[in-house]
Copies of this chain bind each other. A is one copy, B any other.
Amino acid sequence: MKTTFLSSKDIESIVLEVGIDTLLDQLISTLRNGFSNTDFSKIQTPTRTGLYYTQPDLGLLEWMPAAAHGKASLKIVGYHPSNPAKRALPTILSTLCAFDTNTGHMQGILDGTFATAFRTGAMSAIASAILTPSEQTITLGIIGSGAQAVTQAHALSRVLTIGKILIHDKDPQAAASFKDRISFLSIPVSSLGKDAFNQSLPTLDLLCTCTSEAPGAGSLFADFNSKGSLHINAVGSDFPGKFELPLPLLKRAFVCPDFMKQAFLEGECQQLEESTVDTDLATLLNETKSFQANKRNTLSVFDSTGHSYADFLTADFFLNHARRLNLGRDIELESIPTDPLNPYSFLSAQNLTDRFMPKATFQ
């Protein structure tokens, strides 16, 4: 029984074959349909758990499981914010595993690093398309211009018309390089210092926070009065004690988490009482009009901690593309004995009687 492996090159081939915009549009559509058409009481999406350590640097290794429709997925995701500066590696390294729940067989394993950035952008786009329903050209602000900022800007540009982007990153290198990294979007970018960015906050239509601030560091900025309508995608908050937005702002905003249970453990919602949080994304998708009408003070927050069902759908999405394009390789990973009751059935009688003559010693 084979397990399909998609290497990072296979993911690249899918991107090249389909085209980066089309692929992102497809994923946005797949996730939007998946979230709006699923009865979440009938599927299983436990909140993530993981290992947390502080040596040699702060790090997390987490697993995000989901089971639905006879299949399951597990995203294994490492979060090591010292990676870019110290090791020229992305903060997030991840793999996605897909299973058949009839048997427990691992059907596929693929890179989850690109998929995580891609689907996180797509989820923000889905929420923003509802909560920033502007026909006009809008101004997007981004705090934290690392890897996630690229896919956030890209995905948002697929559903809204962005006239300019203001960014702030406390790391000057990350701030300086962002313009080049998203030059393909042909949207003017201004990189601002902290004070200048904070002063422009009231002029924004859309804000993305996607920082790697340490837990306990507090909010990224003080509360402010937004002049018009403002929607915020809060993407960076993903750990107990870590959040990016000031409490007074959250309290007067219409708050929509991607994943209600998890948002109270790790998201901006950690700061809120359960009764004050308005709805989750799946409900918003099904009752868009009533929520748009009720959007509190025209200020809204999408509290994006990362949903395991988005990973479930994304794994399926890439595996389907790979199947169609004949990519990946099939490996007999799990040991399936010819006799299911005999783990040694691959050994001949000869192999088993040879057993008193070890051929090698362990070093």
Which residues of A come within 8 Å of B, CB atoms? Answer: 1, 5, 7-9, 11-12, 15-22, 26, 44, 46, 49-51, 53, 56-57, 59-61, 63, 65, 67, 70, 72, 74, 76-80, 83-84, 87-95, 97, 99, 101-106, 109-114, 117-118, 145-147, 150-151, 154, 174, 177-178, 181, 184, 320-321, 324, 331-337, 339-347, 349, 351-363
Residue pair A334, B17 in contact (C-beta under 8 Å): no
Whether A103 touches B76, Cβ cut-off 8 Å, given contacts A19-B354, A339-B177, A343-B118, is no
| Most chain B beta carbons < 10 A, residue from A91, A97, A118, A324 | A97
Residue pair A49, B51 in contact (C-beta under 8 Å): no
Given the complex, which residues of B lie within 8 Å of A357, measured CB to CB?
Answer: 19
Name the CB-closest residue of B to A22. B358
Nearest CB in chain B: distance from A210 CB, A: 11
Name the CB-closest residue of B to A85. B340
Whether A84 touches B332, Cβ cut-off 8 Å, given contacts A12-B346, A104-B79, is no
Given the complex, which residues of B lie within 8 Å of A341, measured CB to CB?
Answer: 84, 90, 145-147, 150, 174, 177-178, 181
Given the complex, which residues of B lie within 8 Å of A19, measured CB to CB?
Answer: 354-355, 357-360
Beyond A7-B332, A19-B359: 11 further Cβ-contacts under 8 Å? A1-B89, A7-B333, A17-B359, A19-B355, A51-B67, A109-B109, A150-B341, A181-B339, A184-B349, A184-B352, A320-B363
Name the CB-closest residue of B to A79. B104
Residue pair A20, B352 in contact (C-beta under 8 Å): yes
Residue pair A83, B103 in contact (C-beta under 8 Å): yes
Given the complex, which residues of B lie within 8 Å of A347, measured CB to CB?
Answer: 12, 15-16, 20
Given the complex, which residues of B lie within 8 Å of A113, measured CB to CB?
Answer: 334-336, 343
A341 to B70, CA, bound (A): 36
Name the CB-closest residue of B to A49. B49
Given the complex, which residues of B lie within 8 Å of A17, measured CB to CB?
Answer: 359-360
Name the CB-closest residue of B to A21. B355
Residue pair B72, A67 in contact (C-beta under 8 Å): no
Given the complex, which residues of B lie within 8 Å of A150, measured CB to CB?
Answer: 341-344
Name the CB-closest residue of B to A105. B93
Residue pair B360, A22 in contact (C-beta under 8 Å): yes
Residue pair A342, B104 in contact (C-beta under 8 Å): no
Given the complex, which residues of B lie within 8 Å of A61, measured CB to CB?
Answer: 65, 67, 72, 74, 99, 101, 104
Given the complex, which residues of B lie within 8 Å of A356, measured CB to CB?
Answer: 21
A174 to B339, CA, bound (A): 11
Whether A351 touches B16, Cβ cut-off 8 Å, given contacts A94-B334, A114-B343, A341-B84, is yes
Residue pair B336, A90 in contact (C-beta under 8 Å): yes
A9 to B21, CA, bound (A): 40
Given the complex, which residues of B lie within 8 Å of A88, measured CB to CB?
Answer: 340
Nearest CB in chain B: distance from A102 CB, A: 6
A109 to B334, CA, bound (A): 10
Name the CB-closest residue of B to A90. B340
A216 to B184, CA, bound (A): 60
Name the CB-closest residue of B to A186. B353
Residue pair B103, A89 in contact (C-beta under 8 Å): yes
Name the CB-closest residue of B to A44. B51
| Most chain B beta carbons < 10 A, residue from A8, A351, A359 | A8
Give me the 8 closest cross-chain CB pairs, A-B, nearest first. A78-B104, A22-B358, A184-B352, A8-B335, A21-B355, A114-B335, A84-B340, A117-B343
